Structure 1
Amino acid sequence: MLTLENVSLNYGSFKALDGVTLHAKQGELVVLLGANGAGKSSIFLTISGIHRAAGGSIQYDGQQLIGRKPSAIVQAGVVQCPEGRKLFPMMSVQKNLMLGAYVHRRDGEGNRQRLEDVYQLFPILREKKDDPAGSLSGGQQQMVAIGRALMGRPKMLLLDEPSLGLAPLVIKQTFEVIQRINQAGTTVLLAEQNAFAALKIAHRAYVLENGRIVMEGDPESLLHNDEVRRAYIGA
């Protein structure tokens, strides 16, 4: 469904991505593991068309994404939920959610149904729909961020560090929701530092260091890999 071949990205003289090759099949939940600065967000921003790759190919569903506008990439079905949530804190929860439906703004009925789906997934957001997004707890704000991405009707959802800054119980609940989204048919590419939680729900995983893929495999083998355990699990 998504294939990156030898993708590179430069920020001035700094090489943020160096020959990244990875893929996600339809229906998979694939994890990108890596420390801060490893290149996870750069991969997502390049897939989303926000940064232009310096080389390589990004194919989604038979289409080349490099050179396409971010809005066209969302319309094709690839939607990103960014690191740090990036909500509009003074706007209501519902208005933040509806911003995710911008590329589908002419489909009022479809957007109403999608909003109802989000409220069923996150019932607390229905109760707080008129509250400013900035007044919510960190976990609830993450729900808004994921819900906003779902309003874009993703076939492929890019989730960038959804557990960042959340309490352990909220992290557990967040990953359960991500698993439900995947099981309902959405392909998920999940960037995470929380290796233990992410690998528990993944089908496959890649390890990223300094803009390069240094390891890949099934979750079980990576969970028992000494290097992965030392770097990301602390064992």
Structure 2
Amino acid sequence: MTGTRRRRTGAEADGGERAFLAGYDARRYPHPSLTTDVVLVSAAEGTLHTLVVRRGDHPDKGKWALPGGFVRLEEGLDAAAARVLADKAGLEGVFLEQLYTFGEPGRDPRTRVVTVAYYALVDHGRFLEASRRSSDVVVARIEVPWDGETGGPVALAGPDGGALPLAFDHAEIVGMAVKRLRGKLDYTPVGFQLLPAAFTLLELQRVHETVLGRPLNKDSFRRRMLASGELEATGRSEREVDHRPAELYRFARRRAI
């Protein structure tokens, strides 16, 4: 009897929930639209770069925006971020991680829009390939006006050095990505994602200096990296250089993406 009563109770609960859901009207409650924006980051020549797309439609027509788009009803957030990165930058299989949620009322004049921002890390070679897809896609230098992990909006400069006006709150989103990278650099292997598969210790140091925005002591950096267990020698050296070829290393625990 107890087992029968338990089964009936469960069936009644299931039936009640089905009836509730059948009559539920989501239009009774206002709800925001959901987008995802991706800060694509690379490091080259002592500067962090990101990729932006010129907006062809209102609002903020003619301004520059991060690769982004509305999340489809049938897809998850990670899938949406990967999709917009593939559609607008032609990049797949890169390091992609959720950054922060931006939901200030009025950030988008069309309607109430909340965006879940991601950051993606690639070496500069792949980055340049992505920028060649269209004249409306450019590589911009990230100009950080604050030290350390202070945080805040940043400015972007185009290939000619001129300032690029950014759409919406994308200056704050890029600034948050820089702050996150600086905070994670010492305890996660994010720096390796900004390099090709094989690299020299000097190239690794330059990436760290570029992210942090300050110089590092060469000897102490080398000792720390070699003792970290995160590097392994490839057995190869640089080629076609006008100085003594440096040994090439790779990330010993490059995670699957």
Higher helix share: 1
TM-score, normalised relative to structure 2: 0.28
TM normalised by structure 1 equals 0.29
Higher relative contact order (CA 8 A, sep 6+): 1
Larger radius of gyration: 2
